[in-house]
Structure 1
Amino acid sequence: MKTQFLAFVIALAPFSLVFSQSPAGSSYFQAVEEYKLRNYPKSIELLKGLQSEGKATFESYALLAYNYDKLNDFENAYGSIQEARKRKPDDENLAADTLGILAKYKKWKAVIELSEKFVPLFPTNAEIRYFYSLALSEKGAGKVALSQIEKAKSGNANDVRFLELEGKIYYLLKNYDKADMSLRWASSLNEKSASIWNNLALVQEALYRQNLKLGKKKDAVGYLEEAKECIQKAENIDSNDSSVKENHKRIHSITNS
C-alpha cells in the first residue's frame, strides 16, 4: 500500500524591515517595487547597481537573496543572505531566512548545523525552531524533532506548521492516535489546507487498518468514513495534486466489508 503525505512548502516571508527602510535611496525603493511586481531580474539589476556604487547594505543584500530565491537560484540566494548576515549577524530574521533558503533546497545537514548555533542565540524564534525540527525529521531524528516542537509550541501553541509537522512525525512513528490529535487541531485552525486534510486522511486510514486488525470493526468503519471525508475535502481544495488524487482513489476504493 502506497500512501503519500504532502510535502511541506518552504516559502520565505521577507521581513518588514526590508521594505520599511530606505538604506540607499531611490534605487533601493525601485528594487523593492520591482520585487513586489515579481520583476525579479529588474530588481536584481537595481540592487547590483547599488553594490557597484558601494551603497550595498544588509537590507539590499537580503532583498537580493529573496529575488534569487524566487528565481530558484540557490547559490546566489544563499550567498546573498550570507552577505546580509555578515553586515548584521545578530538579526534573527536573517538567521531564520538563511535556514529557510537551505530548507527549500533540502540542505538538511546544513540546516541542523546552523540551527544548533542559532537556537541558543534566538531561543524564542519560532521560524528557527521550525526549520530545525523539519530538518531533524527529514534526517530521521523524529523523536528529537518532537522535543524541539514541544519547546516551540510552548509559545506558539496554535502554529499550524508545528502541528502538521508533529502529525507527520507521529504518523511515521506509527503513533496514530497522537498524529490524529495534532492534525485535527491543525485542521481546526486552517480548514483550507489540502495538505492537512490529505495527511489527516492518511492517519484515519491507518487507524482503520489498525482497528480492523484488532477486531474492532465498528471503530474501524468510523475511521474509514472519516478518511473518505478528509481526502474528499483535500481534493475539493486541490484537485490537481497527484498525491491527493492517488490517495483519494485508494481510500475510496476501500469497502466496509
Structure 2
Amino acid sequence: MKAEHYLEIKDLKVDYLHQGKAVSALAGVHLFLDQGEMGVLIGPSGCGKSTLMTVLAGLNPHYAGKAEIAGKTPVSGGETSLILQDYGLLPWKNVRENVILGLRFRKKSLGEIKQRVESILRKMNLINLAERFPSQLSGGQRQRVAIARSLVLEPKLLLMDEPFSSLDALTREEIQDFLLTIWQETHLTTLLITHNIEEAVFLGQKIFVMSSCPGRILEKVENPLAGNHDLRGKVQFLEMSTYLRSLLHQPGKGRCSRDD
C-alpha cells in the first residue's frame, strides 16, 4: 500500500531517562511532508526538535508511534542524510576526503566515487578548495562542504539541524540562497530546524511550530512566501514572521531539563 505522504509522523512519542525518571521529549507529534517539499521546524530550545531528527535519521529506534519515510521505518545510513550545526567535518581530512567519506562507508566503486565527488564539488563551487582542510575554510565554505558530503550520497530526505546557526548574517543569507538553488534544481525533500524565524519564512513551504517540552506540533503553517527573494523585508514577509512569533510566545507546558 502506497504511503499517503512521503514523510509521515503520527502520534510520535520519545522518552528519555533523567535522574532515574522517564521524561517525555516528544508526545503525540504529527507531521507530514510530500515528496519534494521543504519543511521547517521552529520551537523553543529543549522542545525535542533534534530528538525528532535523530528518529528520522534512524539513529534513535526507541520511540512509540509512526515514523515512516516512503512507507518504511527510518534506517541509519539509508535514504536520509543529516547535517548538524557543527558541520561534522573531520579536521585531519581535506575537502575532497571529507566529501568522499560517506561513499567509502557505502562501499561504492572507485570509479563511481570519483565521478560523484568531482561532480558535486563543481556543483557546490568547491573544486578549487578540494585540497584545503576545514581550518583553512570560512564558515560558509565549511557549510558548503557539509552539504556536499550529504548530497553526494544522493539521499531521498535531507535533514538539517540548525545548519546555519554559527554563520554571520550575510554569510547566512548567502548559504540560504545557495540551499534554495540546490533545492530548486533537485526538489529534494528537506526538513530543516532553525531558531531564526525569518529563515523559516524564507525557506519553509510548510512551517511546523512546536510547543515547549514535551514537544508537539502546535500548528502547521502553509507558507506561500517561501523562496521569494523579492518579499524579504516586505509587508507580507514581516506579517508572516510576526504571526510565527505570536505562536511561539503562547504559554508552554514546561521545559525539558536538557537541550533538544
TM (norm. structure 2) is 0.30
Higher strand content, 1 or 2? 2
Say which structure, 1 or 2, has more relative contact order (CA 8 Å, 6+ apart): 2
